[in-house]
Amino acid sequence: MTAHLPVLIVVLPLAAAVAVPLVALAFPKAAFAVACLALAAAGVASCAALSHVLAHGTLRYELGGWAPPWGIEYVVDPLSGGMGALITLIAVCVVVYAGPRANGGSAARSGMFHSLFLLLVTGLLGIVLTGDMFNLYVFLEISSLAAYALLASGGIRGTVATFRYLIVGTIAATFYLLGTGYLYALTGTLNMADMAARLTAVVDARAYGVAVVLTVIGLAIKAALFPLHGWLPDAYTYAPAPVTGFIAAVMAKVSAYALFRVLYFVTPAEGASAQALMLLGWVSVIAVLAGSILAMAQQDIRRMLAYSSVGQMGYIVLGFALGTPAALIGALLHLFGHAVMKGCLFLVVGGIQWRTGIYKISDYAGMGRRMPLTMAAFVVAALAMIGLPPTLGFFSKWYLLSGAVEARAWLFVAALVLSSLLGIVYFFRVFEFAYLKTPEAGQGTPPRQELPLHMLAPILVLTAAVLVFGLLNQQVVGGIIRHALPGALAP
Amino acid sequence: MWENVSGYLNYWLAAVLLLIGLYGMLGQPNLVKKLMAMNILQVAAILFFIALAEKTGATAPIEVKGLHDVGAYVNPLPHALMLTAIVVGVSTTGVALALLIRIHRHFGTLEEPEILERMRL
């Protein structure tokens, strides 16, 4: 059983994605249950695989019995296992939040929503677990195609934004594919571990530099790293709430994971990948600041959160670029933390819009009274984004800062601190409207409009996760993340 | 200089197609033309992989009796990979066309400047 865990994590949601639309036609009420069960089962499988890996070492699965490097293999190491657990955690929260009547009512439509959502999760889990460069491309496109369909389901502005994302996303995937082609031409293999062993001999080849550049640009577009983030704000703003909640939380993170996997586990440490990381460091400093400044300028709260995501992606890549153990721990912890926090924030904002139709920050006046629990969750997650102890956001920024100090990169230190201060500005603007301003006179006090339980519960679970994992950060870092670092840096 | 071109003609062709595709996707105001440019970009990647598989004087990778030399067959792996990439390309085009139908029904046009103009209203 344990031997089959890696493939089960991917196959369970995939099989459910095929089954759900059919089930939805025959038994409309069962479809939602099937989707929930499949995701929960994938979550259990991820956690079981992760705990097995932490106790007994890396788990490898040969697909179809073909031994690597000829066949495709799935690899669960602490890094991919942890990512798998994170993706399934958010996925379960979001599918419950979306509820049985997701996407506007009818059984067939909600069946399609759940099917696409499961496909998206399948793609993301596949990217994380695969040990094969080309297989990663295929999963990248599976997740992207499902994401296009989901993002486009939110009205005509969403459709136009999605078409642009589709064009940009295809450029990104094609760049990644060409990069893989160059790497294949150099090494004659597609298996990541095999490729890593063979690449050391060809570090000086000019084609190797081209391969790294193409791969990094492709994945950086997918991760929405400034200045390649153009597709992100519109796509996030006009999509349905559960979709934005999930995609904003994990999709760009998975691309960041792929970037980390390629630059630290496949390509040799010296040569082109070191230069790429140095360049990424400078770019991400700009991303951190630009994302925060653009977020301050927004009136639409969804757009504010989207630009804040651009800035936070800068933090993660900055940690990768610094490359010291503390910085990498900070980057991975922030990758995890930001997924939970931003997922929570987008679910709150989407819920408020669903309930009251409000999405402008200036209309949030009195929201603290109208939806006390929902806004409380927003406050906790926002404080975590700013980086207040004892939330998860504080500890990830702490590790990043100490990593930057360790590397004596003072400009990076300054950028991190400054961007946190800007975060205070744009989140406190929301707090001010929600709690201190009262709605205009003459309308009376608006009634309490708390969200229904199935929407509120996932929000509160994610809020609790922000606090609990913050308090348990020592265990998370020592137990999982330290073991997820690449070989040379691991303890 | 000339050897660099003539010896690698198929790669140069792929590079030119890649640039044509990129130019079309970024420069064309019409959404259908953007989509066609996207297909050109994907074809460039496919041709690049197929060119990698080629060997001078080699035959198709189907076993010929008595011919056991690996060098006598072209590399079948890039072809197999590109079959998958073609499927991905077709699916992407399908999704994109569905989006375009929806956009056209709503706006009655597929010219990007006009659509942006109407969305601002």
Distance CA A323, CA A325 (A): 6
Residue B59's DSSP bridge partners are: B73
pLDDT for B49: 92
Distance CA A484, CA B98 (A): 41
**Size of chain B, expressed as the number of residues it contains:** 121
B53 vs A: CB within 8 A: no
The more confident residue out of A148 and A436 is A148
Domain CATH code at residue B94: 1.10.287.3510
B73 vs A: CB within 8 A: no
Residue in chain A lying closest to B15 (CA): A178
What's at A381, amino acid-wise? Answer: A
Distance CA B89, CA B81 (A): 12
Residue B96 distance to chain A (closest CA, Å): 7
Residue B4 distance to chain A (closest CA, Å): 14
Q: H helices of A357-478, where?
A: 367-370, 372-386, 392-406, 410-431, 453-471, 473-476
Using a CB-CB cut-off of 8 Å, the residues of chain A touching B103 are 156, 159-160, 163
List chain A domain ranges: 1-131, 132-484
Backbone angles phi, psi at A120, to 5 degrees: -60, -45
Distance CA A285, CA A291 (A): 10
What's A298's DSSP letter?
A: -
A252: helix, coil or strand?
helix
Sign of the Cα pseudo-torsion (A241, A158, A422, A313, in order): positive
Residue B75, both tokens: 């590399």
Contact A177 B45 (CB under 8 A): yes
pLDDT for A440: 66
Closest CA to A218 of A269, A180, A265, A184: A180
How far, CA to CA in Å, does B41 sit from each of A90, A221, A340, A365, B35?
34, 16, 36, 49, 10
Contact A167 B100 (CB under 8 A): no
Distance CA A369, CA A448 (A): 7
Contact B99 A162 (CB under 8 A): yes
Q: What is the pLDDT of residues A64-122, one digit of tens each?
A: 888 888 889 999 999 999 999 999 999 999 999 887 766 556 666 778 888 999 999 99
Residue B66 distance to chain A (closest CA, Å): 25
Residue A259, both tokens: 């970037």
Residue B92 distance to chain A (closest CA, Å): 7
pLDDT for A437: 77
Residue with tokens 């669960």: A76
pLDDT for A371: 85
Q: Please give the average per-residue pLDDT across A461-484, as a whole number.
A: 87
B74 vs A: CB within 8 A: no
Residue B1 pLDDT exceeds 70: no
- Are A291 and A314 in contact by the 8 Å Cβ rule? The answer is yes
Q: Please give the average per-residue pLDDT across A348-375, as a whole number.
A: 84
How far, CA to CA in Å, does B5 sit from each of A67, A207, A356, A465?
39, 16, 64, 58
Residue B54 distance to chain A (closest CA, Å): 12
Residue A179 pLDDT exceeds 60: yes
Q: How many CB atoms lie within 10 A of CB A356?
A: 15
Total domain count for chain B? 1
Q: Please give the average per-residue pLDDT across B104-117, as a whole number.
A: 89
**Size of chain A, expressed as the number of residues it contains:** 491
Contact B103 A159 (CB under 8 A): yes
Of B81, B91, B99, the CB nearest to A163: B99
B103 vs A: CB within 8 A: yes
pLDDT for B46: 94
Residue A314 distance to chain B (closest CA, Å): 25
Distance CA A329, CA A322 (A): 11
Contact A181 B38 (CB under 8 A): no
Average pLDDT, chain A: 88
Pairing assessment for the beta strands A59-62 and A73-76 based on DSSP bridges:
antiparallel
Q: What is the pLDDT of residues A405-463, one digit of tens each?
A: 988 888 889 988 898 888 888 888 888 888 887 766 555 566 777 788 888 889 999 99
Distance CA A253, CA A314 (A): 11
Closest CA to A118 of A26, A50, A19, A23: A19
Q: Please give the average per-residue pLDDT across A299-325, as a whole number.
A: 90
The A residues from 60 to 119 touching B (CB cutoff 8 Å) are none
B36 vs A: CB within 8 A: no
Q: What is the pLDDT of residues A256-299, one digit of tens each?
A: 999 999 999 998 888 888 888 889 999 999 999 998 999 988 88
The percent of residues above 70 in pLDDT, for chain B, comes to 98
Using a CB-CB cut-off of 8 Å, the residues of chain B touching A156 are 102-103, 106-107
Residues near A152 by beta carbon (within 8 Å), at least 6 away in sequence: A158, A159, A162, A163, B99, B102
Distance CA A41, CA A37 (A): 6
How far, CA to CA in Å, does A144 sit from each of A52, A401, B38, B95?
30, 33, 15, 11
Q: Please give the average per-residue pLDDT across A34-55, as a whole number.
A: 91
Q: Maximum CA pair distance of chain B? A: 73
B95 vs A: CB within 8 A: yes
Distance CA A135, CA A147 (A): 18
Look up the domain containing B110 and give its range.
2-120
Lowest-pLDDT range of A114-128, A384-398, B31-45: A384-398
pLDDT for B109: 87
A138: helix, coil or strand?
helix
Residue A192, both tokens: 């990541």
Sorting pLDDT into bands at 50, 70 and 90, what band is A132? very high
Using a CB-CB cut-off of 8 Å, the residues of chain B touching A138 are 84, 88
pLDDT for B66: 82
The torsion of the CA quartet A469, A471, A473, A475, rounded to 10 degrees, works out to -100
B51 vs A: CB within 8 A: no
B38 vs A: CB within 8 A: yes
Distance CA A329, CA A377 (A): 26
Residue A62's DSSP bridge partners are: A73
Distance CA A124, CA A88 (A): 10
Residue A478 distance to chain B (closest CA, Å): 40
Residue A227: asked if its preceding bond is cis (omega within 30°), the reply is yes
